[in-house]
Structure formats: C-alpha cells, structure tokens
Amino acid sequence: MGAAMRRIHVGNALGAFGLGFTVPFLYVYVAQVRGLGSMTAGLVLAVFAVAALVVLPFAGRAIVRRGALPVLLAALVTAAFGALSLGLANSATTVLLSAAALGAGQAVMQPALATMIVDCSTADTRSRAFALQFFLQNLGLGIGGLIGGHIVDTSRAGSFTLLFAIEAAMFLLLVVIMSTVRMPRAPKVEGAPQAKGGSWKQLLGNRAMVQLSVLGFVLFFACYGQFESGLSAYGVEAAGISTSALGTAMAANTAMIVVAQFAVLKFVERRKRSRVIAAVGLIWAVAWLTAGYAGLGHGSRTMATAAFVSTYALFGLGEAMLSPTVAPLVADLAPTGMAGQYNSAFALVKQLALAVGPAVGGPMAASLHGPYIVTFLLFSLGITFLAVRLGRQLTPVQNQPSLAKSRVVAQGGAPTEPVPVPASS
C-alpha cells in the first residue's frame, strides 16, 4: 500500500471506532437518559435514514466535480458537529437536528472513502483494498462498542456526553489525518467511456449497474436490514434467546468476518464475481434455515441458542465474501471519472434497504415467525437468481478481473495471428 491508502484505511478504522461508541446506545440515550420517550428515540433512528436519503443523491455529483477528499472533509466536520451537539442536546428538537447532521455526514463518508480507495488502487489491488476496509470497519465497530459499553451508565447523562465527545474527536482526528493525503489522479481505464455531465440518466442507462443496484437492495434488505431488528426480535420471541446470547451471536458475526476475511479473499479472487454472490445467496439460505430450526425446531434451549449463534456466523461468512466482490464491481462498472457518482448511487440503494428492512422485518418477526423465515429464505434464493442474471451483463474481465493478467501475458508471448505459409507451386 502507498501512503495515501494507508491513511485511508486508518481513517476507516477510526471512523468505525467512533461510530461503535454511540450507535448501540442511541435508543437508550434518547428514550431513557434524556427522558424523551420511545417515540422520539424511534424518530432519531428514522432521521438517520432520511438524512442519508436526502444528501446521497447530491454527494455523487459533488465528488465528481470537487473530488472525494474535499467532500469527505466536509462530511467529517458535519458529523463531528452532529455528534457533539447530540451529546449535549436535551430537547426533542435539538436531538433530531443533531441526529440529522450526524446521519448526513456519516452517509457521505461512505461513498467518499470508497471513491478514494478506487483512485488509490488498481484493478489488481482493489479487491484486497475493499476487503481490508471491511475488516477494519468491523474491527473498529466491535472495539468501539465494547469500550463504549463499559463507559456508559444510564444513571449519569455525563457518561453519554463523553461517548459522543469521543466520537466527535475521532472524526476531527480523521480530518487532520485525511488533510495530509495526497490523492493521485483518477486512473484511466482503457476502453471506458468518458462521462458526459455525470447525470443520473446516464447511470440508469447502464443495465449492468441497474441490475447490480437491484441485487444490492435485496442483499442489504435480506441481511443487514434484519440484524438489529427482525432477526434479533425473532430470536427473542420465537427461539427464546436471552439478551446475553444475542450479544454472543453478534460477536460471532464479527469474529467470523475478522477470522475468515483474508482466507476467503484468496478463494474469491480467482472466481467469477457473479458466482461468488450467487454462492452467498445459498449460504444465507442455509442461515435462514438454521434460524428456522432455532425458533421452530422445538429442540432444547442449548440447541436453539447454538443454532441462532451459527446463523449470525453464516451471515458473517457471506459478508466476508461480498466485501471484496460488490464494491470493486461498482467501481469497475463506472465510466472514467464517475466512480463517485456510482458509489453514491449504490450507497443510496443501501440506505433504502436499511430503512425498509427493519420496517418490514421487525413486526413480521415478532408475530409471524414461520412466514418471516420463509420470506427471507426466498429473498436469499433470489440473491442467487439475480447474481446469475447479472453475470450475463458483465464483460469477462468485469466478472473475473484475474483474466486481465492472463490476457496480458498471452499478448506478450506467441503471436495470436497465424503466420501465413506460402503456397507450394
């Protein structure tokens, strides 16, 4: 890695570390510590999603026109302001406005950092760069949540103010680090069409990107959108999982990602991306069947808990396979100079899925246990179907970047055209 890429990865880790301090405790902080009730706490979580949906359509164009680094710095300052003001807020209005600032800044950070990774990597190193990003994000979130859980005290509002101050400090430290980054010029991709105006119309005209966006929505809806809402509610209501076992399941998910990420990377790099995503759909289908056994199998409490923990671990395995696959594919589908627009569009799809997923999955998981499992089992199989269809829209190199190196070697060896032989007289 070059110096710029090292700083970007440090930034990813610090940003995730700061978010890990506060995200698990937002609901308790607003509803109980500030005494604003569950309704306001629910609105705060909704404001995060709404703020992201509002700013992301504009973030892509700003990244294309101004560059990823200036946009990232503005997002970090906005997020730091939102975090600090949220820690000091004591009314519903100030809490919601602070959450909007934090949510908007956090949302724009994602495509800006992703675009910087694209600009600082090549087709050969991109999968590993995104895998390392995902690894560091999960590690940062896990460590931040672990430390934050030992700092907070619901009887002392000051302990939560300290958490939000630490989060703001992480964002400001990230501003200092990122200010030292010297970005290279965006790499030119041979044969890539040049962007004309960076319009959404042009992006929607890319059939492969549209299909990837639909696939991405289903991926985030059926997995990430269920982690902290539907699946946890199902575990408690249907499987009788304790809160400590639920925490163990979340830890198993993170542990699987941390342990398996780079072993999985070696497996993924030499295979077609569409087939890797299709395999993830099958793995997640097994995860939902395992969750079904935990809640509907009528086994012992120990077996139900083991099955539920295994469900989260299987989801982690799928996530580890997706991190070096989906994000680099978004970059490879983008015309030259349009990576910011494409990353922002995909982040918008992700936010939509994360907003709709809990709204659909939460109520269903709490009361309709069987239909909930069947529904998301079918969504997982749908991932496999959509991935196979997407493979037909990709060029061979887009689907399997390792082919590019073999073609270069072939071109440097024996001539590809047959040598004409004079006709005998």
CATH number of 1-182: 1.20.1250.20
| 25: helix, strand or coil | helix
Domain ranges (residues) in the chain: 1-182, 204-401
Query: What are the tokens at 170?
Result: 């992480």
Instruction: Identify the pLDDT of residue 416.
Output: 40
Instruction: Identify the pLDDT of residue 382.
Output: 92
Which tens digit of pLDDT belongs to each residue from 48-77?
878 888 888 888 888 888 888 899 999 999
Which tens digit of pLDDT belongs to each residue from 133-146?
888 887 887 787 77
What distance in Å separates the CA atoms of residue 1 and residue 181, rounded to the nearest whole number? 13
User: Among the residues of 67-199, which ranges form H helices?
Assistant: 68-88, 92-119, 126-151, 157-178
Q: In which band, very low, low, confident or very high, does the pLDDT at 298 lie, cut at 50, 70 and 90?
A: low
Which tens digit of pLDDT belongs to each residue from 360-386?
777 777 778 888 888 889 999 999 999
Q: What count of Cα atoms within 13 Å lies in the side-chain half-sphere of residue 48?
A: 18
pLDDT of 193 strictly over 80: no
Most confident of 16-20, 59-63, 116-120, 279-283: 279-283
Among left, alpha and beta (phi > 0; psi -120 to 50; other), residue 420 is beta
Among left, alpha and beta (phi > 0; psi -120 to 50; other), residue 415 is beta
- Which DSSP symbol is given to 194? B
Which tens digit of pLDDT belongs to each residue from 240-278?
777 667 767 777 888 888 888 878 888 887 888 899 999
CA 360 to chain centroid = 20
CA 390 to chain centroid = 20
Higher-pLDDT residue of 287, 159: 287
pLDDT of 414 strictly over 60: no
Instruction: Identify the pLDDT of residue 275.
Output: 92
Phi, psi of 74 (to 5 degrees): -65, -40
What distance in Å separates the CA atoms of residue 263 and residue 317, rounded to the nearest whole number? 11
Helix, strand, coil proportions of the chain in percent (round to 5)?
Answer: 80, 0, 20
Which tens digit of pLDDT belongs to each residue from 89-115?
888 889 889 889 998 888 888 888 888
pLDDT > 90: percent of the chain: 11
What distance in Å separates the CA atoms of residue 77 and residue 215, rounded to the nearest whole number? 33
User: Among the residues of 193-242, which ranges form H helices?
Assistant: 200-204, 207-219, 225-227, 230-237
What mean pLDDT do residues 280-301 have?
84
Q: Mean pLDDT for the chain?
A: 80
pTM: 0.76
Q: In which band, very low, low, confident or very high, does the pLDDT at 404 lie, cut at 50, 70 and 90?
A: low
Dihedral, CA of residue 301, residue 303, residue 306 and residue 308, to nearest 10: -70
CB atoms within 10 A of CB 130: 25
Q: In which band, very low, low, confident or very high, does the pLDDT at 295 lie, cut at 50, 70 and 90?
A: confident
pLDDT > 70: percent of the chain: 88
Domain 204-401 superfamily per CATH: MFS general substrate transporter like domains (1.20.1250.20)
**If 0-12 CB within 10 Å is exposed, 13-18 middle and 19+ buried, where does residue 258 land?**
middle
Phi, psi of 194 (to 5 degrees): -75, 145
